[in-house]
Amino acid sequence: MKIKKLRSKIAIAASLALSAGLVATGLPSAQAAGLQPTAAQLAAWKGKEITYYFYNDSQAELDTTKSQIADFEKLTGAKVKLDVIPYTSLDTQLQARLAAGNAPDVARLNNPGLYIKDSLDLEKYLGRKYAAEFLKGSTLQVTHPTTKKLIGVPYDLTVNGPFINVDMFKKAGVAVPTSWNWTELVAAGKKVQKATGSEYAFAIDKSGHRVSTAMSHFGAYMVDKNQRNVLPTSKFRAEKAIKIITDLYKADQAPRDLWIGTGTKYSSPTAIFLAQQTPIFFSGNWQVAALAKDAKFDFAAVPNPKELNGGGWPGGKFLVAFNASKTPDLAAYFLYFLADTAQMEQMDKNAFWLPTRADLVAQGVKYATRTADMGVFQADAAKTPAAAYGIQSVPTLTGNIYNKLRDLMTEVIAGKITAKQAVQTQIDFIDAQLATLRK
Amino acid sequence: MPYLFVAPNMLIFITFIIWPAIRGFQISFYDSIDGRTFTPVGTGNYKAIFGDPTVAEVAKNTAIYVVFYVIISTLLSIAFALIVNEQKFAKGFFRAILFLPVMLSPIVVGLIWNDVLDRKVGPLNALLQAIGGGSPGWLVEPKLGMMAVIFVGVWVHLGFYSIILLAGLQGIDRSLLEAAAMDGATRPQIIRTIILPLLKPTTLVILILATIHGFQSFDFIYTLTGGGPLGATTLIVQYIYDRAFQTPIQYGLGSAAGVILFMIIFAFTALNFLLGKKREAI
């Protein structure tokens, strides 16, 4: 208990020292003023309450957030009300709250493009150079499309990739892959399925974002950094990627019910992987904490398959403060506090997140466990092709484009359309979406 | 004075029903992606709905669901009410069992049946396989998906309708039934010629309620199938929900669809009511 208290005090001291240190290193005065609360601010914040709209993939994220909030409250004298929201209704509830004039002060989001008009201009509170503290490119989705100002903070970097059930692979006599392509992945999955009698050979999250990873491996992309539809130039590659996945589902070697039987809802085969019904589960690094806690077998993250490209697909979660906040400086400071080096490192370590801060990436995060798994994701992040970041140039449309791809995949799995038709429909849809930007 | 007594209720009704309905109607003439900025589009949202190719499919799904749901739930609730009314043993227990699904949260209902109807590991298919019935894709095949949601919809509301009908049955003058029995009428004759005609007003209430419930069905379906497989169980309320709350968000379009749903339910309710009145007059 004493150690915990001591740690907490050290964390607060470190945070203050960091703020002071940044001031001392000669950062612009506007930034310095934003980083270190003044005595007047602390007096004004005392007893004030802000709301943090939050969702979590694992218990570790929630526990760490609660502990960091407690530290923040001690530091500022303000109160933070934590609203924990299920991922599936994250945007629905937030849209309703914003429309009803009941905006939270800060939110953790995965689609910040939807809230551009509502987001607080962080540069006003945290300085112009604050964005430079994060990985280049990671702030693209939280940069205002016209003012080019920072309106959010990349909180964690996510990398898509496969997990395997090591026990099942061993039982089937299939070596744990250190590199493979999609044909080898499919063959390995089928071999393990046959040897172990598992229900399926493979499973992937019902998500257009995850399918985009396979498309990237085959060299197919949807939107480039100049907001152009580039799918027509790589449609045959996209067809290959879609076909290799949907063929598994059509043959009942992947859980088709999860795609076809869940309508427009997001669904993940995490429970299927945990029940050892599939030896391969394609998802991403955010699953590590939950799998580490719940898996009753040996599992491992393995490299993404490589065709023309390897690597993952960029994604992540963002912290956004809202301009409707009654205490915008406090909201901005809370966001700054959560994304500072000490807090981010703590969260990354506890929840197996990948850092977005340039300093943390440079020094490396030392995970207490699952080091090899996190190493695989870090390596795949580095191998992710630059073209994969192109879609982030249209932050307001990414959700629509991914959802359409998900729905078309479902239709291919159900045999309603072919992969070729799916790609053509997606091309037309992207054209129509991009046209809305030019209206 | 009487207005004072109804005032609290009216205040709640106006605040939570009338005012949002008026606002919804107003919003149906605007386009809004965030609920804060509204661009007037005239009747554009209504035109967009009627020009949307998915609407025909949604209308067909809704019509199939409502017709089967109303017929099956009305017939079954009459049958169950008659059975429960005649029961001598463990009356309370069976009534409680019948009413139990009504008390469950629709989300729980969806989750329970999602597990029961699972193609690979669901208990229903396990049972079917044991007797050589195969493993139908209840939530994967479009036709079976519709059958599944109709079944679950009936299961959820059956107890509620049966209890209303039971009250109607108990309101029937027993001397009429005893007289008919003394005159030698058989049980089916008594049901056909005395009970069912006297139960007509209550049955009309059930028909109206079931029609409204049928058109409004959403929550348990969304949890059970999400509107799938391939949109086969997407009914009009989910269409509204998807337009209003799923990206790309179109509050105006969602509101316009809500207005259309209101008009459909209103028309059916009025028709039911008028037909009932006409029959009563005859």
Nearest to A416 among B225, B230, B238 (CB): B230
Q: Is A300 left (phi over 0), alpha (psi -120 to 50) or beta?
A: beta
Chain B contact for A226, CB < 8 A? no
Nearest CA in chain A to B235: A263
Please state the rounded mean pLDDT for residues B40-64: 93
Matching residue, tokens 């800060």:
A106
Q: What is the pLDDT of residue A118?
A: 92
Residues of chain B contacting A, Cβ within 8 Å: 34-37, 118-121, 137, 139-140, 145, 222, 225-231, 233-234, 238, 242, 245-249, 251
**B258–chain A nearest CA distance, Å:** 17
Kindly indicate the confidence band of residue B281, based on its pLDDT and cuts at 50, 70 and 90.
low
pLDDT of residue B221: 94
The pairing of beta strand A153-165 with beta strand A314-321: antiparallel
- Model pLDDT, residue A135: 87
Confidence of residue A137 (pLDDT cuts 50, 70, 90): confident
Asked if A371 has any chain B CB less than 8 Å from its own CB, the reply is no
pLDDT at B280: 66
Q: pLDDT tens, A144-198?
A: 888 889 999 999 989 999 999 999 999 999 999 999 999 999 999 999 999 999 9
Partners of B219 on chain A (C-beta within 8 Å) are: none
Tell me the average pLDDT across B162-178.
92
Least confident of A193-207, B61-75, B184-198, B265-279: B265-279
Q: Residue B194: what pLDDT?
A: 92
Q: Which residues of A touch B120 (CB under 8 A)?
A: 199, 255, 257
pLDDT of the residue at B228? 81
Of A117, A261, A400, the CB nearest to B247: A400
φ, ψ for residue A127, nearest 5 deg: 90, 155
Element (H or E) spanning A63, and its range?
helix A59-76
Tokens for A224, please give them: 């480039």
Among A95, A257, A260, beta carbon nearest to B230: A260
Query: Which one of B119, B227, B249 has the shortest CB-CB distance to A263?
Result: B227
Question: What percentage of residues in chain A have a pLDDT greater than 70?
Answer: 92
* CB contact (8 A) between residue A262 and residue B231: no
Secondary structure class of A110 (helix, strand, coil): coil
pLDDT at B28: 95
Determine the CATH number of domain A2-151+315-373.
3.40.190.10
CA nearest to A37, candidates A327, A325, A355 = A327
Smallest CA-to-CA distance from A219 within A416, A50, A426, A388 is with: A388
CB pair distance less than 8 Å for A257 and B242: no
Chain A residues with CB-CB distance to B119 below 8 A: 257, 261
What are chain B's domains?
41-281 (1.10.3720.10)
pLDDT of residue A295: 95
- Tell whether the model's pLDDT for residue B106 goes beyond 80: yes
CA distance B261 to chain A (A): 21
| Of the options 3.30.1550.10, 3.40.50.12160, 1.10.760.10, 3.40.190.10, the CATH number for the domain spanning A159-313+386-437 | 3.40.190.10
The verdict on a CB contact (< 8 Å) between B226 and A264 is yes
Nearest residue of A to residue B148, measured between CA atoms: A261
Given CB atoms, is A83 within the 8 Å cutoff of chain B? no
Give which of B230, B234, B235 to mutate to test A binding, by max A Cβ within 10 Å: B230
Q: Which positions in chain A touch B248 (Cβ < 8 Å)?
A: 400
Q: Does A415 touch chain B (CB under 8 A)?
A: no
Q: Residue A280: its pLDDT value, please?
A: 98
pLDDT at residue A24, as a whole number: 32
DSSP per position, B126-179: HHHHHTT-----TTTSHHHHHHHHHHHHHHHHHHHHHHHHHHHHHTS-HHHHHH
Query: Averaged over A384-401, what is the pLDDT?
Result: 88
- Are B229 and A96 in contact (CB < 8 Å)? no
- Residues of chain B in contact with residue A416, where contact means CB-CB under 8 angstroms, are 230
Nearest-neighbour CA in chain A from B244: distance (Å): 9
Q: How far apart are the first and last CA of chain B?
A: 39
Q: Which among A100, A111, A263 has CB closest to B228?
A: A263
Can you tell me the distance from the alpha carbon of A41 to that of A75, in angstroms, rounded to the nearest whole number?
12
CB-based contact A256 B140, cutoff 8 Å: yes
User: What does the mean pLDDT of chain B come to?
Assistant: 90
Give SS3 for A418. coil
Looking at CA atoms only, how far is residue A66 from chain B in angstroms?
28
- Phi, psi torsion values for B28, nearest 5 degrees: -65, -10
Most confident of A181-190, A350-359, A385-394, B167-176: A181-190
Rounded Cα–Cα distance for residues B49 and B256 (Å)? 8
What is the spatial distance between Cα A284 and Cα A161, in angstroms, rounded to a whole number? 5
Tally A–B CB contacts below 8 A: 80
**Is it the case that residue A35 has pLDDT exceeding 50?**
yes
Considering only the beta carbons, identify the residue of A118, A257, A414 that sits closest to B118: A257
User: How far separated are the first and last CA of chain A, in Å rounded?
Assistant: 60
Question: Each residue of B122-157: pLDDT tens digit?
Answer: 899 999 999 988 889 999 899 999 999 999 999 999
Mean pLDDT of A218-235: 94
Annotate A16-46 with DSSP letters as a single string. HHHHHHHHHTT--HHHHHHHS--HHHHHHHT
Q: What angle do CA A207, A209, A210 make, to 5 degrees?
A: 70
pLDDT tens string A271-327: 999 999 999 999 999 999 889 999 999 999 999 999 999 999 988 899 999 999 999
pLDDT score recorded for residue A401 = 94
Closest CA–CA distance from residue B16 to any residue of chain A (Å): 14
pLDDT over 70 at B42, yes or no: yes
Say what percent of chain B tops pLDDT 70: 99
Give the position of tokens 């009428």.
B185
pLDDT at A242 over 50: yes
- B162 CB contacts (<8 Å, ≥6 apart)? B77, B80, B81, B84, B98, B99
Residue A17 clears pLDDT 50, i.e. is over it: no
Q: How many helices (H) and strands (E) does chain B have?
A: 15, 2
Contacts 24+ apart (CB under 8 A), B40-48: B41/B252, B45/B250, B45/B252, B45/B253, B45/B255, B45/B256, B46/B256, B46/B260, B48/B253, B48/B256
Test the B interface: residue of A258, A260, A408, A416 with most B CBs within 10 Å:
A260
pLDDT of residue B282: 60
Band of residue A22 on the pLDDT scale cut at 50, 70, 90: very low
Which residues in chain A touch residue B233, judged by CB atoms under 8 angstroms apart?
Answer: 263
pLDDT tens per residue across span A329-380: 999 999 999 999 999 999 999 999 999 999 998 888 999 899 999 999 999 9
Tens digits of residue pLDDT in B250-271: 899 999 999 999 999 899 888 8
Contact present, A320 and A305 (Cβ < 8 Å): no
Tell me the residues of chain A between 230 and 289 that have a Cβ less than 8 Å away from chain B: 255-257, 260-265
The closest CB to that of B229, out of A99, A199, A414, belongs to A414
Domain ranges across chain A: 2-151+315-373, 159-313+386-437
Closest CA of chain B from A100, distance in Å: 8
DSSP classification of residue A139: T
